[in-house]
Amino acid sequence: MEIIQTVRHGVPFFFCNHPAWAGAAHGFSSRQGGVSPAPFDSLNLGANRGDTPERVEENFRRFCAAVGSTPETVVKNHQVHGKVVRPITSPEEAVPLSQPGTFPADALVTDVPGICLTVFSADCIPVLLYDPVHRVVGAAHAGWRGTAAGAAYELARVMREDYGCAPADILAAIGPGISPCCFETHADVPEGLRSGLGEAAEPFIRPLPGGEKFRVDLKGANARWLQEAGLSPDHIAVSSLCTACRPDLFWSHRRLGQARGSMAAMIELRGK
């Protein structure tokens, strides 16, 4: 399985086109296809970045139309770099498109069709999960702290324990995020990864000459967490795109700081 780029209604986005994913509308946004001016140009989906509510709402409508998801039932968190998985049971939990989420959590899960789970990122790693057998979807935001804490693992664990999913049935899509080419860190990041993954973290940590800095593969570490949760490696699709390398396609928090928009990843169960 792989993640490809497509364009619908003039909005480019990324998704897994494998037929097994057909029951879940899903996608990762780029910065293209929206209405916002610089520094939010143009598809800013972050309602807390300083962009106007009207433009954020229009950008959401465009992205939902491209993905095939429902703008009236977008559910958002207030992301806090943790591993809390928030179950959604009703469309009543939807947040207006122009307002930020307030519930402190980094992951969402539901078995209710028609609810659009949404997480935000601009270098952090967005992870979407779908069980086509038990009909459950999940979304997680994992920066380095969430990756170290195992946010993706927690999401898969909740799907297994609370929703009856068999890990072997779960499909995963890991979206565009900062990649080892650009993610240079101090020792805190490798230490965090080791504290979560143990020796399994080593393939995702590369010391740089001098020994004080490292390059870290957060997408690889999230894929590893999903395998620890029982997912099959061939069910895990990983985007090769680096948000810091491609300023034409993405905002990068590392490159731009606070003067930027936000991308989003969405997933929604289709049908009834």
What's the rounded Cα separation, in Å, for the pair 14 and 64?
A: 13
DSSP string, 90-119: -GGG---TTS---SB-SEEEE--TT-EEEE
To Zn ion, the closest distance from the beta carbon of 203 in angstroms equals 18
To Zn ion, the closest distance from the beta carbon of 252 in angstroms equals 8
Decide whether 156 or 244 has the Cβ nearer to Zn ion. Answer: 244
Decide whether 249 or 264 has the Cβ nearer to Zn ion. Answer: 249
Host H or E run for residue 27:
strand 24-29
Sign of torsion, CA 83 193 157 174?
positive
Decide whether 150 or 175 has the Cβ nearer to Zn ion. Answer: 175
Decide whether 143 or 196 has the Cβ nearer to Zn ion. Answer: 143
CA distances from 177 to 5, 121, 223, 231, 239 (A): 15, 8, 13, 21, 8
To Zn ion, the closest distance from the beta carbon of 181 in angstroms equals 3
To Zn ion, the closest distance from the beta carbon of 184 in angstroms equals 10
Residues with Cβ < 8 Å from 174, sequence gap 6 or more?
Answer: 3, 125, 126, 127, 219, 222, 223, 236, 237, 238, 239
CA distances from 236 to 3, 129, 230 (A): 10, 9, 11
Q: Roughly how many angstroms between the first and final C-alpha of the chain, as a whole number?
A: 26
Decide whether 27 or 176 has the Cβ nearer to Zn ion. Answer: 176
Q: Is the peptide bond before 39 cis (omega within 30 degrees of 0)?
A: yes
Sites of contact with Zn ion (CB under 5 A): 179, 181-182, 242, 244-245
To Zn ion, the closest distance from the beta carbon of 123 in angstroms equals 10
User: Which residue, chain included where needed, has tokens 């993905």?
Assistant: 67
Name the residue among 153, 139, 30 with its Cα closest to residue 79. 139
Decide whether 26 or 215 has the Cβ nearer to Zn ion. Answer: 215
To Zn ion, the closest distance from the beta carbon of 13 in angstroms equals 20
Decide whether 135 or 219 has the Cβ nearer to Zn ion. Answer: 219
To Zn ion, the closest distance from the beta carbon of 182 in angstroms equals 3
